[in-house]
Structure 1
Amino acid sequence: MFDHFVWEVVICPALIAVVIRLLADRLRPEAAAIFLVTSLVATAAGCLLTLAAFALKAVAELPFAASPLNISAAYVRADTAREPWVSWLSLVLLVAAVAGIVRVWRTHRRDAAYARRFAGLPVAGDGVVLLDDERAEAFAVPGAPGRIVVTTGMRAALDDARYAALLAHERAHLTARHHVMVLLVHLSAAVHPAFRLLVRPFDYLIERAADERAATEVDDRRVVAHAIGAAALVSEHTHRAGSLRIAPSRRDLRRAGAVPRRVASLIAPRRARSLLPLLLPAAVAAFSLAWTAECVLDLGELLVAAHH
């Protein structure tokens, strides 16, 4: 079974991380976001199930755990006799992954509880919750129905055209359920260290997807680009401690390089881009799931043989 550990815990996670980082900014963001998130989640699920299988093997290697089930602990240990550490390392990695998943889920629940604070606030005619705050902030709050929250500081900083583009961007987040994608990426990042390198690229990709949807809605890419740049500048200028942001991805938007790249992508002429490169992460994810299934079957066969 050791080869399953090598492929599922070492090679496939590293491979999908490299592929996604290479493709994230080279494809049409609307399609790439869904496809790459799906590939990442599938690979993360395969990695997690493989760790669970090896963790179960580690338990079966203990005589006091194997004896009540009439399983030979020595027979189970012999399967990875040359790598006796692999089962117990997998158990440690599984515990760390589950702890990370729980931590991400708790953060999500806390953010969701904070978002519910906006549900009862009065909504303007354009479906926006306008907060009386000099800080320039705007963000989408998922829910049923979703809300767009804008501060008076942000509204005063934008003219009507740019404000409409900003609202289109935030509506795109709600329509495409980008908050679900963000959550899935962060849950996957908790499974394997290599996946943590993909959080910022995915945050950027999801923002680009919303940019493109907004550009289609307002039918003016330059207006959307101007709105993004103006909103980022005024927000950075007025921001103080106690930010109103609730989504983890929002923190990364103001790191150096993110906003200028988004603006440049909108101003540049949009070129037709092939989706064929997306077959590569899909192939890695499919390979990962296939090897995970084989790993589970091998474990089952091992335990049956150890029982007899």
Structure 2
Amino acid sequence: MTTDLVIPLLLPLLAWPAARLVAPGLPPRAASWLLTGACLVLAAGSTAALALLAFAGLSLLPAVADLGSWSPQAFRAESGIDVPASIAGGVALAVLTALLARTIVRYVRWARRLSRELDEHGRDGVVLLPGDEAVAFAVPGRGGRIAVSSGMLAALTPHERSALLAHERAHLASRHHFFLMALTLSSALNPLLRPLCSAASFALERWADETAAHRIGDRTVVAHAVAKAALAGRPHHGFALAATGGPVPRRVSALLNPSTGPHGLLPVVLLSAVVIGIAGLSAQTALDSAADLHDGIEIAQADSR
């Protein structure tokens, strides 16, 4: 059982290269759903694997075994539990749980602080922030708000301002903050998922870029707005969705060269199936291990009678 539980922990290392190949060939919306879903499933699988490892180790303790009325010796012999691996799994689970809790606390504090700051300048729609620093981002709550600074507006032409606002509105309209939160929690639960989550975050920005290009009707204007916003401002750190997020040169290139794709349809479909298969394997392995653990407990309970 211990060997099987290692699989969900390491599968993100295989999912990342496949996702990196498949994402450029998919429409950004499809890539966002595929990669975010894969991150969630892989995070759940790895967390379940650690929980099962920790529980298997705890089940060998006499006090725990007495509560469940099973024989620790019979359970260990039946399940093939590796005690050092169980201890390591328990420690890792505790650390990752603490990191998850810290991430949630940081998000709550950030959201409250940002809400108070934005309320000072406006409560609905587009909030104009004073100052020369170039800032633009979208945040959920109260129907969604877009914060843009005077410095950012000064750096753009009127058409580019419209493109920037269309990008931020696309984030809000498509509920991208839910995707971003799912990715943030997934990477907290399994740090090996960070490259895959970064690819999903990039797909979200591309999704907003394409939506803005469709609304504005000029891909070049959107590309110029994204490039100039990134040059004028600085990368946004936090939980908000910003037009300057992700690898900006790749976003600009995709806007200016929409027809250039590294893959044909068949390779993209096959690679997408690989990503889905890896996520499914992670979930299935965790479920099978849980079933094996349950069977081992039942046998140990029968042996203790």
Q: TM-score, normalised by structure 1?
A: 0.87
**Which of 285, 289, 295 does residue 283 from structure 2 map onto?**
289
The alpha-carbon deviation at position 157 of structure 1 amounts to: 1.7
SS of 2:42's equivalent in the other structure is helix
| 1:22-72 deviation line (CA, Å, top 9, x unaligned) | 333342212101111001101211111121122111111111221233211
Contact 1:203–1:252 (8 Å) recurs in 2:
no
The alpha-carbon deviation at position 159 of structure 1 amounts to: 1.3
What is the distance in 2 between the residues matched to 1:170 and 1:252? Answer: 11
Alignment-derived partner of residue 267 in structure 1: 256
Give identity over the alignment, percent: 34
> Is 1:3–2:3 an aligned residue pair?
yes
Contact 1:20–1:281 (8 Å) recurs in 2:
yes
Contact 2:54–2:89 (8 Å) recurs in 1:
yes
What is the distance in 2 between the residues matched to 1:223 and 1:114? Answer: 33
Distance change in 2, residues 1:269/1:253 (3 Å)? closer
Note the residue ranges of structure 2 that are not aligned, 5 or more in a row: none
Contact 1:137–1:151 (8 Å) recurs in 2:
yes
Aligned residues: CA RMSD: 2.4
The alpha-carbon deviation at position 95 of structure 1 amounts to: 1.1
Distance change in 2, residues 1:69/1:196 (3 Å)? same
What is the distance in 2 between the residues matched to 1:145 and 1:281? Answer: 34
Contact 1:16–1:40 (8 Å) recurs in 2:
no
The alpha-carbon deviation at position 191 of structure 1 amounts to: 2.0
Task: Write out aligned runs for 1:166-205 (5 A).
Answer: 166-205=164-203
What is the distance in 2 between the residues matched to 1:169 and 1:250? Answer: 9
The one-letter code of the counterpart of 1:3 is T
| 1:150-179 deviation line (CA, Å, top 9, x unaligned) | 111111221110000000110111111112
SS of 1:198's equivalent in the other structure is helix
Aligned length: 296
SS of 2:132's equivalent in the other structure is coil
Q: TM-score, normalised by structure 2?
A: 0.88
The one-letter code of the counterpart of 1:57 is A
**Which of 239, 244, 256 does residue 247 from structure 1 map onto?**
239
What is the distance in 1 between the residues matched to 2:17 and 2:82? Answer: 27
The alpha-carbon deviation at position 13 of structure 1 amounts to: 2.5
The one-letter code of the counterpart of 1:301 is D
Note the residue ranges of structure 1 that are not aligned, 5 or more in a row: none
What is the distance in 2 between the residues matched to 1:301 and 1:158? Answer: 65
Alignment-derived partner of residue 278 in structure 1: 272
Alignment-derived partner of residue 145 in structure 2: 147
The one-letter code of the counterpart of 1:4 is D
**Which of 205, 208, 211 does residue 207 from structure 1 map onto?**
205
